[in-house]
Amino acid sequence: MKFSSFGITINSDEIVNSISLHGIPVFHTSEMHIKPFLCRKSVCNLADIIAVFRESERFYIVGIEIKEWNAAVNPKLAIEYLETYRRTCEYFYLAAKHFSKSTLELKDIGLFDLTSMKVIKNPSYLFPDCDFRANLMKRIKKHFNVLSGVVEDPFQRTLPEF
């Protein structure tokens, strides 16, 4: 999957494969609804990239928002996106060419440099709303016919884990 704007093409496969903190990427898609309903208060309703990573028997939903412009991403914008993604995703990355110094100091947000195509700041676990995350995982499983053995609740365990 590729994103194009301002004459630049960004490959989502390359971004997802460059993130290694959460295990092995097993699925990703672009332009997917984040929440189970349309929310006019959110800065976005569609995630640029939703990825699922597998670490041992655990699966993590990771949201990635891409800002391709040349201006530095500021903390206000970064926090608005974090608040949108945090209810559904376990980790969130903001991908951009430039970040303001104060954005680099924000907690919880992972930062991905589009110029060097690497993670420059790891995110914290976001403790998503169980119902929101379950709804997104169900939609991924149903619409893409993948990850059939994955449990929807982020805190539910499977027998192979024991």
In a domain, 135, yes or no: yes
Rounded Cα distance, 31 and 47, in Å: 5
Query: Residue 71's pLDDT is what?
Result: 93
**Structural domain range at position 33:** 2-148
Query: Residue 150's pLDDT is what?
Result: 79
Regions of the chain short of the pLDDT cut 50: 1-8, 161-162
CA atoms within 13 A on the CB side of 35: 16
Query: Residue 7's pLDDT is what?
Result: 44
Q: Kindly report the average pLDDT of the chain as a whole number.
A: 86
Q: Name the 3-class secondary structure at 71.
A: coil
Query: Residue 33's pLDDT is what?
Result: 84
Q: Which two tokens stand for residue 117?
A: 């195509």
Query: Residue 155's pLDDT is what?
Result: 62
Backbone angles phi, psi at 155, to 5 degrees: -110, 0
Q: Name the 3-class secondary structure at 121.
A: strand
Query: Residue 159's pLDDT is what?
Result: 54
In a domain, 137, yes or no: yes
In a domain, 70, yes or no: yes
In a domain, 155, yes or no: no
Q: Give how many domains the chain has, as a whole number.
A: 1
Query: Residue 142's pLDDT is what?
Result: 87
pLDDT tens digit sequence for 15-24 = 999 999 999 9
Query: Residue 114's pLDDT is what?
Result: 96
In a domain, 144, yes or no: yes
Backbone angles phi, psi at 110, to 5 degrees: -90, 145
